[in-house]
Amino acid sequence: LEPKEEFEHSSLAVDVMRPRRGDPALAVLTQDSMTVGEVETLVESTHYSGFPVVISQESQRLVGFVLRRDLLISIDNARKRQDGIVSASLVVFTEHCPAQPPEAPPPLRLRGILDLSPFTVTDHTPMDITVDIFRKLGLRQCLVTHNGLLGIITKKDILKHMAQISNRDPDSILFN
């Protein structure tokens, strides 16, 4: 197979990532503007294993990635053991807490559970390269960006994509 042909066979990260057109938006957390209650509502209304953290809803600049499990455990622990943590407490992933009114409850600081360097590819990365990276680095998920966060690809998304390709194009040797 010539490299050129191989390229023609390959889809791009943007074709495999979620959300697909028409899907609900990517579920993201903001770095210092959501309350404990808002984070709990978002996490509990989905089944996703993790959530990208962005600067703000407006900017969508990627700050890191947090696992669902770590979020739930940390919030649960803080509510039980940390003085003053209530639904209205701000969840803060940044190093420094934003200024708050004096009567505000203490913030919940969660920078410790944030993966600050989640793996990312751009929307135009060919899927054969993305699959290779998943294999070689043993990734569970990877974020897709284009001047800011666009979507997410999980290992299962890739397996589904590979199954589709092999059904559609049994002669393709790309993903053997």
Give the Cα separation of 160 and 29 in Å (integer). Answer: 27
Residue 152, interface with ligand ADP (CB under 6 A)?
Answer: yes
- How many residues line the site for ligand ADP (CB under 6 A)? 13
Residue 48, interface with ligand ADP (CB under 6 A)?
Answer: yes
Residue among 9, 11, 14, 18 that touches ligand ADP (CB under 6 A): 18
Residue 51, interface with ligand ADP (CB under 6 A)?
Answer: yes
Q: Which two tokens stand for residue 29?
A: 């957390």
Residue 139, interface with ligand ADP (CB under 6 A)?
Answer: no
Minimum CB distance to ligand ADP smaller for 109 or for 161: 161
Minimum CB distance to ligand ADP smaller for 17 or for 85: 17
Give the Cα separation of 149 and 128 in Å (integer). Answer: 21
Q: What are phi and psi of 145, to 5 degrees?
A: -125, 160
Q: What are phi and psi of 79, to 5 degrees?
A: -60, -35
Judged by DSSP in three states, 163 sits in: helix
Beta strand pairing status for 50-54 and 62-67? antiparallel
Residue 130, interface with ligand ADP (CB under 6 A)?
Answer: no
105-124 residues near ligand ADP, rule: CB under 6 A: none
Residue 148, interface with ligand ADP (CB under 6 A)?
Answer: no
